[in-house]
Structure 1
């Protein structure tokens, strides 16, 4: 019996050992789970605390309270680091291997890492910069802008720009396919904010890099200033009826010469090679008349043509070309306040467009006098900004709004500097699409030969529909054009506005050449007008499929043009339309159409 008991003892000890191992493992699992749960709650609390701080920093920077922004940024960085550290230990990473729970933990860890990166490497240096700078530092004094603060800011802005670009890429790479809705929403919100901020900061980085050079930090420069007049439309805005030469030197800015379209002759041939595509769509006159250099939607080409014409007439080889329109000037007037002109007129943000694009034609019958008034008004606004009377915050907001609407354009003859402008609204390029957005173009060129585009109204819509078995989508851009001139425009409006029938267009009518650009890989499907298929001019411009049609509208008449293209593969992203900046802009709407 004793022998039997002796042989039975080991199984009992084995069961005890196994039980202890299982119990120990269970304790470890429970402890690890509790560890992950507690640290997850700590990370959640830290991330939630960080959200309102980010908004506070933005408000403090806008208010010019750099010290408060720096302090808040330090708090944000502390919370962000807490969230990152709580989600990056080995136990957390092990739990990421579990089904269902794992993808959520991984997404939260990556989310916390992005927030920590932004807080440490973007927000903190920018808040420190805000603490050392004030918008008033860039306010002109005696016509001169201090350039050293911009130069000193370059390293911090460049570092923050790199951090935001990295964060935007990292948050976009977070896999949210198998996560809870609350986690997916958090990633989506952070992605939207990060990508938007990255774009803004990218523009800021380019600005602090480019502005000192353009303002003559290294050597004096000359820039041609085009004042585009949208009362007579061109693709980039309007005819350059008035021009000026802008001289910069070590931050000082002077208007040293003014000219008008009458200062330039008709050149017997384009002053620079245009290429068969541009010549086919817009003809040789694009490079023969200063009034037509902006017929192309590529402002780099417009700038190069204007620069060459100025050189031919005045012997000055400018460093580049800048462009503004009266609507942009009205935005600047909101920052400077009212300006009294030599004529006694008071120019304000509210009356600038009406005075410059309508009243001036009723007052002066001679085109040269109209251009002179326009140039004088633009010069007065420039002097007001240069004198330092503009509110810096409002001035920046005005320039940003005008740039967003493509009313401020810049061309630099230096290739490296021009490259800094690429992919920005200032460059005035053809619309560039990416993996998330297809961008189309819609451009207008006046065919009346007068200023009737004061009365041209345009409403635009865009949409897509998939009707084919191969899932290739159809895209359509629709524009409703209306001549809003009074019924008696032929007799009530001056000949300089109606054109007087000089180009075969009856007085009061508006003739417009409309060019629609698809994305480069699309197949052109043609044009309809008021629902009926019509003849049009198909072409290609730098691989973009282009449809051009001329239309003429009597006072009160409307027409609906629809341009269509066929895509080469399914697409589920966003659609945008970039168009000529008319005097009045309307929101682009969604176009719904059937198969």
Structure 2
């Protein structure tokens, strides 16, 4: 009996232990699995923090041109991203992805990790290879820039831009958040910063690509248009330089006075028409004076043919710069000192070049022979252009490419930088970017033209004001819109300026500004109801399919502004508001 009782007690104990084990062992297993999940989550969180730190290191190293540090940081990023991907590919995580409530978190985590892995494989690693093969330290070669290095980075940015767009799109589809998911988004935001300038300035970069080509030999003219001798397309081209691409290196050549560079007469190959001479004056027969025509596409083409006619060298394009660009460049590069001791910087360059040098050497307060002084000042202008361009090359900082690009963008908008390219495909890009300086033929984006020129030899462009105002539109029955336009030309010269100036600066009008004015209607539009405050007659005509009104014989005296009021009507059915293109003046630099 006792034995049976002992057996029953043992069996009871075994059942208790067995039942306990059935409960405890699964609990232990669950706790173990839970702890492994917690460990994995902590590991992933640490890896995400590593990604953020290493991406900051990548961007810092790129700015400092430290390719070895970039490579080391990218290696750590790659290791971290692959480690996270490995963890999430394990069976225990795949199992969770089938549980209804949890699966959305697992799938979102998979998406975020895939983005990081793709960023490493498709963006960062290729970038390291480009930096190793084309180190930025070798961008400059002598007095120029290596075209293959520039193109390598442009190719890289073009390649990764859609990759980063896809990553951004993938992250936007993730609808759940984690403790570190925001860091993944910030990580991709940092990748976006690599291509930000490329995306923002894509149309201008396309022009630059066409300008560079594949590095084969090319030659471009750089015309420094003098706003003190203001012309419709900018100014008199006092100095002309070159940009050459030779043996894969782009370099800036010397600037010379226009009289030594362009043929005197317009070549037969681009002969000026009698109609153009009527509209823009007979000065159009001279190559240097075709800038009375506001259409820079026409002007640039003539200057290119004129240079080739005189020098026997083919020209692939022409860039026009006004003096305000000099000041904008010097704001980033620092100042220069001319051979006569004149200091130019980012605050004073325009005023010095457009007024003070003339008053220093060519006013009636100096004893210098005018002819010799004029040659000397022309030489100083040529020296300025060369010094500034050389300083730009020597002080070039690739970290400021966005700022340099902004100079070009702003210059295209206000016509202080214009460009003509012989290649029609390249010129199409120039037009689309808005820096061709051509007359507007886009009916859907109506633009009125207001162009002023000093018509008599003087340096009075410094004093001219050209102000425009567009009134509210009236919608006509045919869907066209009519605007009241007001143009005011005024002369800011004061008696002290007149007293000190002398005839070379003032011209023949003793402080008055003798000029031309050309008013263009938008494509498919008209000009009507013209009135002028001085009763001068405006002649109606047509040029390149655009209606215009012009006058070639008036003088703007100090304290006697000339106001022109007229109506501009757009083409039928155009909804875009009217804008104005006008000759850039120096008003804001006085």
TM-score past 0.5 threshold: yes
Query: What residue is the counterpart of 1:424 in the other structure?
Result: 433
Query: What residue is the counterpart of 1:235 in the other structure?
Result: 232
TM-score after normalising by structure 1: 0.65
1:310-336 residue CA offsets vs partner (Å, 9 max, x unmatched): 223222222222221110010010111
CA gap of 1:529–1:159, structure 2 versus 1, over 3 A, is farther
Query: What residue is the counterpart of 2:95 in the other structure?
Result: none
Asked if the contact 2:447/2:579 (under 8 Å) is kept, the reply is yes
Is 1:357 the equivalent of 2:354? yes
- Distance, in Å, in 1 between the alignment partners of 2:127 and 2:483 is 45
Query: What residue is the counterpart of 1:376 in the other structure?
Result: 383
1:534-567 residue CA offsets vs partner (Å, 9 max, x unmatched): 5211111211111112432212221221232334
- Distance, in Å, in 1 between the alignment partners of 2:394 and 2:343 is 18
Q: Deviating runs (4+, > 6 A) in structure 1?
A: 65-69, 124-135, 159-165, 196-199, 268-271
- Distance, in Å, in 2 between the alignment partners of 1:161 and 1:462 is 40
Q: CA deviation at 1:257?
A: 5.9
Query: What residue is the counterpart of 1:150 in the other structure?
Result: 150
Query: What residue is the counterpart of 1:82 in the other structure?
Result: none
- Distance, in Å, in 1 between the alignment partners of 2:163 and 2:482 is 38
For residue 387 of structure 1, the aligned residue among 390, 394, 401 is 394
Give the superposed CA RMSD. Answer: 4.2
Query: What residue is the counterpart of 1:327 in the other structure?
Result: 324
Asked if the contact 1:271/1:309 (under 8 Å) is kept, the reply is no
- Distance, in Å, in 2 between the alignment partners of 1:409 and 1:563 is 28
For residue 578 of structure 1, the aligned residue among 562, 573, 581 is 581
Query: What residue is the counterpart of 2:297 in the other structure?
Result: 300
Q: CA deviation at 1:515?
A: 0.9
CA gap of 1:251–1:495, structure 2 versus 1, over 3 A, is same
Structure 2 SS opposite 1:477: strand
CA gap of 1:496–1:575, structure 2 versus 1, over 3 A, is same
Is 1:520 the equivalent of 2:523? yes
Query: What residue is the counterpart of 1:451 in the other structure?
Result: 459
CA gap of 1:201–1:490, structure 2 versus 1, over 3 A, is closer
For residue 498 of structure 1, the aligned residue among 506, 511, 514 is 506
- Distance, in Å, in 2 between the alignment partners of 1:160 and 1:548 is 51
Q: CA deviation at 1:256?
A: 4.7
Superposition map of 1:67-106 within 5 A: none
Segment of structure 1 superposing worse, 147-156 or 539-548 = 147-156
Asked if the contact 1:246/1:257 (under 8 Å) is kept, the reply is no
- Distance, in Å, in 1 between the alignment partners of 2:232 and 2:303 is 15
Asked if the contact 1:141/1:387 (under 8 Å) is kept, the reply is no
1:457-494 residue CA offsets vs partner (Å, 9 max, x unmatched): 12211134327555543123322221010135543312
- Distance, in Å, in 2 between the alignment partners of 1:453 and 1:130 is 49
CA gap of 1:135–1:285, structure 2 versus 1, over 3 A, is farther
- Distance, in Å, in 2 between the alignment partners of 1:201 and 1:527 is 40
- Distance, in Å, in 2 between the alignment partners of 1:464 and 1:163 is 45
CA gap of 1:572–1:65, structure 2 versus 1, over 3 A, is farther
- Distance, in Å, in 2 between the alignment partners of 1:312 and 1:322 is 18
Structure 1 SS opposite 2:242: strand
Query: What residue is the counterpart of 2:310 in the other structure?
Result: 313
In the alignment of these two chains, the number of paired residues is 444
Query: What residue is the counterpart of 1:545 in the other structure?
Result: 547
Is 1:282 the equivalent of 2:280? yes
Any stretches of 5+ residues in structure 1 without a counterpart? Answer: 1-55, 76-120, 166-195, 587-595
CA gap of 1:136–1:143, structure 2 versus 1, over 3 A, is same
Query: What residue is the counterpart of 2:406 in the other structure?
Result: 397
Asked if the contact 1:522/1:567 (under 8 Å) is kept, the reply is yes
Query: What residue is the counterpart of 2:249 in the other structure?
Result: 251
Structure 2 SS opposite 1:343: coil
Asked if the contact 2:319/2:420 (under 8 Å) is kept, the reply is yes
- Distance, in Å, in 1 between the alignment partners of 2:584 and 2:432 is 18
- Distance, in Å, in 1 between the alignment partners of 2:449 and 2:383 is 33
Q: CA deviation at 1:425?
A: 2.8
CA gap of 1:402–1:129, structure 2 versus 1, over 3 A, is farther
Any stretches of 5+ residues in structure 2 without a counterpart? Answer: 1-54, 82-117, 166-195, 363-372
Is 1:475 the equivalent of 2:479? no
Q: CA deviation at 1:289?
A: 2.1
CA gap of 1:222–1:148, structure 2 versus 1, over 3 A, is closer
Structure 2 SS opposite 1:378: helix
Is 1:565 the equivalent of 2:568? yes
CA gap of 1:400–1:129, structure 2 versus 1, over 3 A, is farther
Query: What residue is the counterpart of 1:210 in the other structure?
Result: 210
- Distance, in Å, in 2 between the alignment partners of 1:159 and 1:539 is 50
1:170-219 residue CA offsets vs partner (Å, 9 max, x unmatched): xxxxxxxxxxxxxxxxxxxxxxxxxx999944414413522422xxx432
CA gap of 1:564–1:262, structure 2 versus 1, over 3 A, is farther
Q: CA deviation at 1:152?
A: 2.9
Segment of structure 1 superposing worse, 234-243 or 541-550 = 541-550
Asked if the contact 2:201/2:405 (under 8 Å) is kept, the reply is no
CA gap of 1:526–1:125, structure 2 versus 1, over 3 A, is farther
CA gap of 1:526–1:197, structure 2 versus 1, over 3 A, is farther
